[in-house]
Structure 1
Amino acid sequence: MSERKVALVNDGMSALGSAVCRRLHREGFQVTASYPPHQSTPEAWLAAQRDDGFSFSGICADPGAEADCAALVEKMLVARDRLDVLVNLAMLPDLGGASLRDLTPRRWQAVRAMLGGAFHLTHQVLPVMQARQWGRIIQIAAGPAWPLPGAIQAPDHAAANAALQGFTRALALEVARQGVTVNTIVPGCLACNVDASEASSLAHIPVGRLGAPEEVAALVAYLASDLAGFVTGAQLAINGGQHMM
């Protein structure tokens, strides 16, 4: 059995997911990146990572499908014998529009699917972590989590973030004495999903710049470490001070 800890990064082939996979690899984790069925060229992504010196495995799974999540975790346990860290990128697509009038039933279904993914994956990995009396569950909330001052936040994103944090806190209390921590990271405007030329965004970020995916990944790495055993049930903002505006 390997002594290296094993991490699963849901949506690990996205821009932010890639940064998280790389950082955890540098920290000594064996990393598996799961990707949705519509992911384009996953083999090309894996090859590009190998070219840069990173060795990941990739598994296709629909996080909103219970059977897919069960099969994903089973495959990881067969291959690695353990699963220590779950990083769930609970991201929603930016479909434009921020009013309730713009919120179609189909778009609302995306919220249900995203929250279902958080539940299904956590439901599968938690018993494994409880058995080892050690685990880290890290949810990365749907963005944009902080709208610009005076802007209306899209109700689907607001509902998703609130539900995810409620889920996090309830689970953190449940497993607090079992060596498993559960936390939520709420990113602000990142360079990977916002045009860096948007002066209107930069003007409302106290540090005066967009965030880098690597900065979020560094926070993930801390929460995944032994040193973060006293942090649980937290909602951690990483947004250049935007929450103060």
Structure 2
Amino acid sequence: MARVAVVTGGTRGIGEAISVALRDAGMTVAANYAGNDQKASEFTERTGIKAYKWDVSDFDACLEGCRRIEEELGQIDVVVNNAGITRDATMKRMTRDLWDEVLHVNLGGCFNMAKSVWDGMNARKYGRIVNIGSINGQAGQYGQVNYAAAKSGIHGFTKALAQEGAAKGITVNAIAPGYIDTDMVSAVPANVLEKIVARIPVGRLGQAHEIARGVAFLVADEAGFVTGSTLSINGGQHMY
């Protein structure tokens, strides 16, 4: 029977590429999304992957979303915590609400989803969790104290949870993407984007499918000896 994988933020950008890669690897994929019903519907029509709507910052919604997926598709073996938002501002302009919103979605969502599937994975002695961090969680970034803190927290969360899961057949790893050619990055002004690319040794932005390929490796049955690791996919921009 095919493994069941849940990809949060899985209907657009990097998340869509991950969802498709796991589908192509033979998994039954459920793609979570938070807001855009039209985009989610188009995604399902295009890929054949069912989309499920809930806010990953809401613990009870995560529990219910995972319960529904298991009822409809089967027990969840794989979780990819990809959902994330930005609310950029310098500390002078950063509000508590902007801080909380990013921490609750980007870092809190990882806890909520892992907690929702942890007992089942422990009982079956198998699980794969991959958390999507960021180069900016490793190196920091001006105007992103909230985002950088949340993504840095993901890397610590990954290492700690990996230690709890190792003896139970559950691996927990992270991927730290660099600057990837998505709608979010494309919205950056052209002159700023040029400066970003100039700092990337390979001389280009990354592609979403390159992140997805890393995820597909980490969630494979054959990757059981890889846990607590962070795979940096950033074109050599930050070697960590």
Q: TM-score, normalised by structure 2?
A: 0.90
Aligned twin of 2:150:
160
Mapping 1:89-168, distance limit 5 Å: 89-93=82-86, 95-97=87-89, 99-114=90-105, 115-142=107-134, 144-145=136-137, 152=142, 154-168=144-158
**Matched-pair contact (CA < 8 Å) for 1:145–1:188:** no
**Partner deviation per Cα, 1:164-216 (whole Å, 9 max, x = no partner):** 11111111001111110001111000011323952211110011110000000
**Matched-pair contact (CA < 8 Å) for 1:10–1:89:** yes
SS at match of 1:186: strand
Aligned twin of 1:186:
176
**Matched-pair contact (CA < 8 Å) for 1:46–1:57:** yes
Are residues 1:225 and 2:240 paired? Answer: no
Q: TM-score, normalised by structure 1?
A: 0.89
Q: 1:124 to 1:194 in 2, by over 3 A?
A: same
Identity %: 34
SS at match of 1:189: coil
SS at match of 1:12: coil
Which of 47, 51, 72 is 1:79 aligned to?
72
Q: Which amino acid aligns with 2:147?
A: H
More deviation, 136-145/222-231: 136-145
For these two proteins, the number of residue pairs brought into alignment is 233
**Matched-pair contact (CA < 8 Å) for 2:6–2:30:** yes
Pairwise CA RMSD: 2.0
What is the deviation of 1:130?
1.2
Q: Distance in 1 between matches of 2:85 and 2:136?
A: 9
**Matched-pair contact (CA < 8 Å) for 1:122–1:137:** yes
What is the deviation of 1:119?
0.9
What is the deviation of 1:146?
6.0
Aligned twin of 1:52:
none
**Matched-pair contact (CA < 8 Å) for 1:91–1:141:** no
Are residues 1:59 and 2:56 paired? Answer: no
Q: Which amino acid aligns with 1:139?
A: N
**Matched-pair contact (CA < 8 Å) for 1:147–1:153:** no
**Matched-pair contact (CA < 8 Å) for 2:78–2:129:** yes
SS at match of 1:194: helix
Q: Distance in 2 between matches of 1:13 and 1:147?
A: 28
Q: Distance in 1 between matches of 2:239 and 2:207?
A: 19
What is the deviation of 1:145?
4.0
What is the deviation of 1:96?
3.9
Q: Distance in 2 between matches of 1:244 and 1:44?
A: 37
Q: 1:80 to 1:40 in 2, by over 3 A?
A: closer
Mapping 1:17-56, distance limit 5 Å: 17-36=15-34, 38-41=35-38, 42-49=40-47, 55-56=48-49
More helix by share: 2
SS at match of 2:110: helix
What is the deviation of 1:102?
2.6
Q: Distance in 2 between matches of 1:214 and 1:233?
A: 23
SS at match of 2:75: coil
What is the deviation of 1:127?
1.2
Q: Which amino acid aligns with 2:91?
A: L
